[in-house]
């Protein structure tokens, strides 16, 4: 009797703390936002700028997050080397870009610039996909039937291996993407105090196009169907005559292609790349995948965009009104608090995890 | 049966090794003559080492004398550490790789420019009893993270580029007795920036951005405080911060643009400064703001990171044009050894730190009849603090009780089309402004 009462009290206490946490966060967000908006220090134009920068960041996170979520969906594996696949893409794009810039093709005229960006993407995708397939073949396939923790450790090892291999080849210094003139120019919107560069448009549009393409591919094509079938049940899919290895390799290739493309977009916006470039975006994209519901493709897209907005707008909106000094230093705190909240209150992510059929 | 035999063989081998080790530590009767002969000669060394609180570093005859540089050798800020490391290497070349009759063994430890990295590096250093001289670290944060460990181990380090003012103030914490530097104090750098912007350029409104590092936060604060003392104002939202891993600066820049300043001073490291410079030009309201960073960005990597936007950028840094005459020789040696110009600004300070280390080691070292050299650690520390009128590349070196050894000589540089390239050319030809000499005594 006593034990049951104690148990009940503990349950209530835990629920109370969680509710208190929930209320505190909601209060912080509501009061902070109200004070910030009421304070009127930021014009509508600056809010627009923040939203655009959040969308740009979010698009890149979403593209990387797709790789995490697809691999998780099919293998139940967090592919921690995915950030490094992205980093390899930034390097691939960089070398194509400097080569094209060196012969004067990059900024010759708008058409050559567009061709150049396409070539950079192609270069990055080739590098990323090759690397991802090698990692899959060497580090994951031999462990396919091992306990789930084993390939996870192997993934972390692969991540370090790739980072320090790149450091060995290219040194610890910074490489900077050359500027592509037409992308660095501003979109003539005619709004005073608000600017969007063509590169921002390119990032958002190409992310949307790629994600829509992926969604259609997975839903409508035969190969996409086979990927979904393997994701649901490997053994049964194999019995139905689906080549399981082919579906898994395709998944890695598609995820890596998205990461490679994201790498070029990242390089074009932020310019600087070095061997450690993949680490932070990798962690953030993983967060985005979990936020949206890991294993769920639309969830990763939504999670990426959502995380981008939280980082772009969040610190200013929630914290600056509360008088927190230099709120932007805390953007990672906000992003990861969001992750903790989702894990506590909706462990399967915003759109729900797609692993239900497996006991 | 064969297994048992093999094991007993191994066991016997181990016992033999142990037996061979024994006499060295305790002195077996069989070796007493040789032992006592050398003991008589080394009486004063043994007594000095016993009396020294932290004991001695022992360098047996024929063994190398170990000098270590620790600092940031990987990641985005690695040029800072690499540059200092080269300064030390050239200093070692200049004494023909020998000191006190030993060859010099030079090694490095990476501190990553973070408190955690500094702590890890310091623990590795403290565990290595062969280290005679220690030069570093590169960053203030590494000092903050590692100093207690070094102090506890009785070691002393001399930094060429950790500039936070608080590291060498008279009332610094006790463990900072292990820290000296040839670099300037940011007390001067921050004030100089404020004076240049306010007095020389006549700007009235300043904003600063730091990255949470011990170096940037303190330097930005000195600059803001002095700018206000001079009569300027800090804009609303003019005290901003980024995280060291941030790449998207638009939120910070938008916040600053809400009350546009005349100048933005961001004494952050290369990557962050590159992003800020590149993205500020696209932030409405900041088109005319002057951008300025500090000595941590005095590197060709900064120009690469910022791209074309670096044109016209200001950097506060030591003034190489006022260095001693020997600096030109140093540059020639640098070119011959590494095939290029220095990567950052603290190579001469590192050379000077090494010079001080060599002089202090020579002053306190004792050698016994076997040729074993003993360095009493506390005496070595005291000798470093007692360094007076040593000729350095940056000028005369005089260490004071709070650990400052170099005279601060600072200036403001401006990035011109020559440096931006392409290709990137470094360093700039000459500074555009320097404070009056009495600035440092006011």
pLDDT of residue B4: 54
Domain membership flag for residue A272: yes
CB contact under 8 A, B270 and A174: yes
Q: What is the pLDDT of residues B235-262, one digit of tens each?
A: 887 888 888 888 888 888 888 888 889 9
pLDDT of residue A359: 34
The closest alpha carbon to A358, from A67, A72, A69, belongs to A72
pLDDT of residue B34: 42
Domain membership flag for residue A203: yes
Task: Report percent pLDDT > 70 for chain B.
Answer: 90
Q: What is the pLDDT of residues B23-69, one digit of tens each?
A: 443 334 444 444 444 444 455 788 888 888 888 999 998 899 999 99
Report yes or no: B220 at the A interface, CB cutoff 8 Å: no
Instruction: State how far the Cα of B368 lies from the Cα of B41, in Å rounded to an integer.
Output: 6
At residue B199, what are phi and psi to the nearest 5 degrees?
-80, -45
pLDDT of residue A321: 76
Contacts of A276 in chain B (CB under 8 A): 75-76
Task: Report percent pLDDT > 90 for chain A.
Answer: 34
Average pLDDT over residues A317-341: 82
Model confidence band, residue A66 (pLDDT cutoffs 50, 70, 90): very high
- Range in A28-32, B79-83, B205-209 the model is least confident about: A28-32
Residue B147 has pLDDT above 90, yes or no: yes
Which residue of A56, A280, A326 is in closest CB contact with B241?
A326
Report yes or no: A198 at the B interface, CB cutoff 8 Å: no
Interface size A-B, in CB pairs within 8 Å, comes to: 111
Domain membership flag for residue A153: yes
Contacts of B257 in chain A (CB under 8 A): 46
Residue with more model confidence, A217 or A349: A217
Residue with more model confidence, B68 or A34: B68
Contacts of B73 in chain A (CB under 8 A): 172
Domain membership flag for residue A184: yes
Domains plus CATH for chain B? 65-183+346-397 (3.40.50.2300), 187-318+410-440 (3.40.50.2300)
Residue A356 has pLDDT above 50, yes or no: no
Range of the domain at A227: 58-288
* Interface predicted TM-score (ipTM) of this complex, two decimals: 0.77
Model confidence band, residue B368 (pLDDT cutoffs 50, 70, 90): confident
Report yes or no: A56 at the B interface, CB cutoff 8 Å: yes
CB contact under 8 A, A43 and B239: no
pLDDT of residue B25: 39
Q: What is the pLDDT of residues A82-119, one digit of tens each?
A: 999 999 999 999 999 999 988 888 888 888 888 999 99
Report yes or no: B239 at the A interface, CB cutoff 8 Å: yes
Domain count, chain A: 1
pLDDT of residue A157: 93
Which residue of A50, A197, A325 is in closest CB contact with B282?
A197
Domain membership flag for residue A317: no
Any idea of the CA torsion for B421, B424, B429, B431, to the nearest 10 degrees? 90
pLDDT of residue B20: 46
pLDDT of residue B11: 53
Model confidence band, residue A358 (pLDDT cutoffs 50, 70, 90): very low
Residue B105 has pLDDT above 90, yes or no: yes
Contacts of B243 in chain A (CB under 8 A): 328-329, 331-332
Q: Which two tokens stand for residue B390?
A: 């040593």
CB contact under 8 A, A272 and B305: yes
Domain membership flag for residue A313: no
CB contact under 8 A, B239 and A186: no
Domain membership flag for residue A355: no
**Which residue is closest to B252 within chain A, CA to CA?**
A328
Q: What average pLDDT is seen over chain B?
A: 86
CB contact under 8 A, A46 and B258: yes
pLDDT of residue B6: 58
């Amino acid at each position: 009797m006593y034990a049951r009462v104690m148990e009940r009290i503990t349950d209530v206490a835990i629920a109370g703390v969680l509710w208190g946490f929930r209320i505190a966060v909601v209060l912080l967000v509501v009061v902070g936002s109200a004070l910030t908006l009421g304070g009127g220090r930021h014009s509508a134009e600056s809010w627009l700028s923040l939203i655009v920068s959040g969308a740009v960041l979010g698009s890149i996170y979403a593209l990387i997050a797709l790789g995490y979520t697809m691999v998780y969906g099919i293998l139940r594996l967090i592919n921690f080397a995915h950030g490094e696949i992205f980093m390899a893409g930034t390097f691939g794009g960089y070398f194509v870009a400097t080569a094209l810039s060196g012969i004067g093709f990059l900024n010759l005229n708008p058409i050559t610039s567009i061709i150049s960006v396409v070539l950079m993407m192609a270069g990055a995708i080739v590098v990323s996909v090759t690397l991802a397939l090698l990692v899959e073949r060497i580090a994951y396939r031999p462990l396919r039937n091992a306990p789930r923790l084993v390939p996870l450790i192997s993934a972390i090892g692969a991540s370090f291996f790739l980072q320090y291999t790149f450091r060995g080849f290219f040194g610890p210094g910074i490489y900077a993407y050359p500027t592509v003139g037409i992308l660095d120019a501003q979109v003539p919107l005619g709004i005073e105090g608000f600017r969007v560069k063509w590169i921002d448009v390119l990032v958002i549009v190409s992310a949307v196009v790629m994600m829509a393409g992926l969604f259609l591919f997975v839903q409508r094509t035969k190969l996409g169907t086979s990927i979904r079938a393997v994701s649901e049940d490997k053994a049964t899919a194999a019995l139905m005559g689906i080549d399981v290895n082919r579906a898994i390799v395709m998944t890695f290739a598609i995820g890596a292609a998205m990461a490679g493309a994201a790498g070029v977009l990242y390089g074009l916006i932020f310019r600087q790349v070095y061997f450690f470039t993949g680490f932070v975006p990798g962690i953030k994209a993983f967060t985005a995948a979990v936020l949206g519901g890991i294993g769920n493709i639309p969830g990763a897209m939504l999670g990426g965009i959502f995380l981008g907005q939280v980082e772009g707008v969040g610190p200013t909106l929630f914290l600056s009104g509360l008088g927190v000094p230099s709120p932007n230093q805390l953007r990672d705190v906000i992003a990861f608090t969001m992750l903790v909240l989702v894990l506590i209150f909706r462990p399967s992510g915003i759109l729900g995890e797609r692993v239900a059929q497996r006991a | 049966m064969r297994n048992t035999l093999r094991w007993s063989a191994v066991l016997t081998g181990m016992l033999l090794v142990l037996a061979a080790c024994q006499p060295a530590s305790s002195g077996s009767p069989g070796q007493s003559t040789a032992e006592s002969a050398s003991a008589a000669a080394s009486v004063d060394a043994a007594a000095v080492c016993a009396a020294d609180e932290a004991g001695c570093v022992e360098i047996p005859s024929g063994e190398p004398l170990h000098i270590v540089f620790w600092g940031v050798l990987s990641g985005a800020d690695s040029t800072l550490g690499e540059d200092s490391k080269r300064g030390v290497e050239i200093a070692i070349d200049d004494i023909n790789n020998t000191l006190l009759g030993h060859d010099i063994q030079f090694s490095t430890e990476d501190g990553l420019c973070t408190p955690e990295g500094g702590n890890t590096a310091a623990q590795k250093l403290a565990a290595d009893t062969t280290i005679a001289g220690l030069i570093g670290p590169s960053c203030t944060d590494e000092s903050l993270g590692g100093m207690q460990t070094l102090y506890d181990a009785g070691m002393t380090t001399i930094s060429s580029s950790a500039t936070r003012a608080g590291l060498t103030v008279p009332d610094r914490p006790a463990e900072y007795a292990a820290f000296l530097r040839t670099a300037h104090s940011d007390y001067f750098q921050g004030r100089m920036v404020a004076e240049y912007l306010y007095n020389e350029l006549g700007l009235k409104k300043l904003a600063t951005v730091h990255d949470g590092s011990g170096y940037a936060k303190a330097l930005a604060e000195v600059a803001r405080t002095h700018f206000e003392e001079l009569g300027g104002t800090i804009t609303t939202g003019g005290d901003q911060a980024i995280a060291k891993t941030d790449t998207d600066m638009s939120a910070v820049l938008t916040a600053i643009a809400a009350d546009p300043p005349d100048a933005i001073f961001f004494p952050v490291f290369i990557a962050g400064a590159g992003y800020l410079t590149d993205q500020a030009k696209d932030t409405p309201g900041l088109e005319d703001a002057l951008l300025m960073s500090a000595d941590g960005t005095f590197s060709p990597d900064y120009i690469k990171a910022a791209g074309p936007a670096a044109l016209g950028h200001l950097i506060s840094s030591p003034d190489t044009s006022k260095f001693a005459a020997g600096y030109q020789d140093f540059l020639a040696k640098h070119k011959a050894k590494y095939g290029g110009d220095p990567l950052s600004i603290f190579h001469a300070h590192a050379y000077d730190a090494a010079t001080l280390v060599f002089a202090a080691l020579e002053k306190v070292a004792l050698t016994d009849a076997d040729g074993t050299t003993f360095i009493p650690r506390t005496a070595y520390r005291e000798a470093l603090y007692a360094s007076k009128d040593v000729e350095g590349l940056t000028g005369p070196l005089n260490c004071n009780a709070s650990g400052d050894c170099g005279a601060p000589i600072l200036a403001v540089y401006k990035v011109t089309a020559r440096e931006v390239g392409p290709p990137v050319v470094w360093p700039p030809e000459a500074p555009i402004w320097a404070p009056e000499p009495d600035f440092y005594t006011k």
